Structure formats: structure tokens, C-alpha cells
Amino acid sequence: MARISCYGPLGAGHVNPTLGIVAELVRRGHEVRYWAPTPFADRITETGARYEPVTSTWEALDRADIPQMHGRELVRAMGMLLDETAALVPVLADAEPPDLVLHDGPLAWWGRILAHRWGVPSVETWPNLVANRHWSMREYTRINPLSPRFLRTVLRIGRYLRGQGIGDVQGFTRGDTADLRLVTLPRAFQYAGDTFPDGYAFVGPCLTERAFQGGWTPPPGGAPTVLVSLGTGYNDLPDFYRMVAASAAERPWHVVMAVGDVDPAALGPLPANVEVHAQVPQLAVLRHARVFVTHAGMGGTMEGLRFGVPLVALPQMAEQRANADRIAELGLGRALDAAGLTADAFWASVQDVAHDAAVRERLEWMRGEIAAAGGATAAADGIERVLAGR
């Protein structure tokens, strides 16, 4: 069996999609060591992999300062990602070289560099929409390639990569050196999905039980559950949570809200049919949910679709807007603008998707596409094919 080194960044939306893949590799007898920041220790250990702690330079940042790879943030994010890579490569390079490197594609650049240094094959996980000449995030965000800040950042990256023996900056940032890209969404959800070649394997979501999060049981009474969760990066929206909680009274719903660091006391008195938590065991709640109100991050989007739950999308940034537009385009739910959203409009959308037969039909279609994509089994098969050809 193979020795596989796995690398994840400081981001639940990038680590969670890998967990099912790693668990399946361990089940098949491979020796997997997974390096990631300590907030992910429990979930990685649950897969059976050997967890290896690393310290991210981003852990000292306020949440608002953590970079996002999109829009106006992209240039700053690229510079911070270079700093993170330069800090982690020397720490990780002393480990025994594996037979294969498995790493997050958008953020864990150190995985690319280590695979290149060791001369071993690499497989990247992409937990988001991917780009080619037929579709890219340029539909949603613009960067001036002649801006001095962008050019300085590209020069910095180029100097660093040349020092690592890598000359192609664009190819490096795209992940062109990967032997395989595992995209953790079904091809049917990807814009222009049929235009991507065999080097992209659209395996769909690769979920685990996530016992480390605990369980959840709906309260007695039989009211349908609506889960409201806006992820871990853009959830500081107390006015929105307050509106949902206050307007839930007397409505025929049980509301489960994950509010992150927002103080529940700031939401005012809670109706009996509203429960508020910093975090919830999302998969456990989704098993019972009738509607999922989500920021449309790809991880949560895929989890909702995997369980056939209609989506009400409230995107907070460019990548999420692209996901939300795809949700609406494919008939899997509704996309709303959180700015100025009224209680009546919010609940009308919840009721609409919950009772729309066309949405239910499209959700069943997408569940079939997810099942056909193969999930963790297909991902592990692809990794083993790479190993066999090394």
C-alpha cells in the first residue's frame, strides 16, 4: 500500500471536502498522514489518518483579515498565500517523502512545491467551481492585470517559485502540474462542465459522518425544520439573524440557526420555535431539514443537495454569487440579496422552495448526478490510478 501525504489550509470549506476521500484511502489500507492546522484535528483523526499539526500564519489574524481568493481581495490574498507557503514549506520538507501528495488545490500551494521537490505525483482537491477558457470567475470579478500592486505580487511569486525550481507562474497557480484534479462537485453543477478534460474528475461531495460534531434530533411536534447557516467566513450578520428570529414566531417552522461569533443575546428574546447555536452539526440537521438557508459556499451547497434539501441562497461574495446563480439556474432553489431583505420576502422564499414540485424534481435529478459522480470511492479510484502509473 502507498504512503500518502495530505495537506490542508486553514479553511473548513477546503478541509471538509477531503475527509471522505482520506477515510476511503485509509479503509483501503493506504498510510495517510494529514498536515493541517489544529482546529481540524478531531475531524482528521476521525478518518483514521495520522494527524500532523501545523501552525498557520493566518491563525493570528482576525477573521476579517483572512484572505479570500476573489475580486478585490485576490491580490492581497495571493501575497498572503505566498507568505503562508514560504513559512510552511521548510517546516514540512523534512518529512519522509511519500509516494503521492494529496492537497487542496486553491490554497495549499505548499503541496505543489513539496511534490515538485520530491519528484512524486500529486493529486489536488478542488472544492469549488473550476475554470477554463469556456467559463471562469471573470464573469463575477475583475482584476486589472496592469495594476502596480498586482504586478509586484506576481513578481514576488515568480522569484519565490524560481527559487524552488519552478518557472511557470501561471501554470503553478492554476495547478497545471497536478496528475489529477478531484473536483468535489458533480459535473452537472459545474458551469460548462462538459468542456473539462479527463484530468478533472468531478467526483461530487465526499462526506463522512462527522461524529466529532455530535448529533441533532428535531423537537417533538412535527414542525418542518429550516436550517439557517451562513458558513464560517461571512456570518457576522446580527441584523439578519434578529430578523429571522423575530419573524419566526407563530410561523409553522422550527428554525435552527448557526450564528458563529454573534452573541445570541444580541438577537433579542427567542420564540419557542427558534434555537440558536454558534455552530451546529450541519449534516445531522440537514437529514431532517425541509429548507436550507445558506450563504451558498460550495461545501454547504453540496451538503444540502446531497440530502435533497431545497436551498435559499444568500451569497456574501463573488464565488458564492456564482454558486447561488447556478442554484437558481438549475432550479434547485432561490437566490436572494441579503441587503434590505424583509421578513415577508424571506419567509415567502422559504415557503416557495419547500412546496415547489419543480424544485423537488430538480433536487432528485441532482441527487442522481451526485450519486453517479461516485464520491469518495471514485476519488480513491483516481488516486490509485495515479499511483499505479507513477
Would you list the domain boundaries of the chain?
3-204+374-388, 215-371
CA distance 191 to 132: 10
**pLDDT of 127 higher than 70:** yes
Average pLDDT over residues 335-353: 94
**pLDDT of 334 higher than 80:** yes
Q: What confidence score (pLDDT) does residue 29 get? A: 98
pLDDT digits (tens, 9 = 90+) for 350-387: 999 999 999 999 999 999 999 999 999 999 999 999 99
Contact 200/181 with Cβ under 8 angstroms? Answer: yes
* Phi/psi of residue 230, nearest 5 degrees: -105, 30
Q: What confidence score (pLDDT) does residue 315 get? A: 93
> Would you give the end-to-end CA distance of the chain in angstroms?
14
CA distance 23 to 40: 14
pLDDT digits (tens, 9 = 90+) for 141-157: 777 777 888 889 899 99
Average pLDDT over residues 277-305: 96
Decide if 3-204+374-388 and 215-371 have a common fold: yes
pTM for the structure as a whole: 0.94
Residue with the larger pLDDT of the pair 145 and 199:
199
Q: What angle do CA 70, 73, 76 make, to 5 degrees?
A: 125
Q: What confidence score (pLDDT) does residue 233 get? A: 64
Max mean pLDDT among 209-218, 237-246, 257-266, 303-312 falls in: 303-312
Contact 363/390 with Cβ under 8 angstroms? Answer: no
Average pLDDT over residues 210-220: 87
pLDDT tier at 210 (50, 70, 90 boundaries)?
A: confident
% of the chain exceeding 90 in pLDDT: 77
pLDDT digits (tens, 9 = 90+) for 55-78: 999 888 776 676 565 656 788 888
Q: What confidence score (pLDDT) does residue 60 get? A: 83
For 3-204+374-388, which CATH class?
alpha beta
pLDDT digits (tens, 9 = 90+) for 297-329: 999 999 999 999 999 999 988 899 999 999 999
Q: What confidence score (pLDDT) does residue 390 get? A: 67
Q: Give the residues across from 181 on adjacent strands.
A: 124, 200
Other beta carbons within 10 Å of 158: 16
Pick the CATH number of 215-371 from 3.30.300.160, 3.40.630.20, 3.40.50.2000, 3.90.45.10: 3.40.50.2000
% of the chain exceeding 70 in pLDDT: 96
Q: What confidence score (pLDDT) does residue 212 get? A: 81
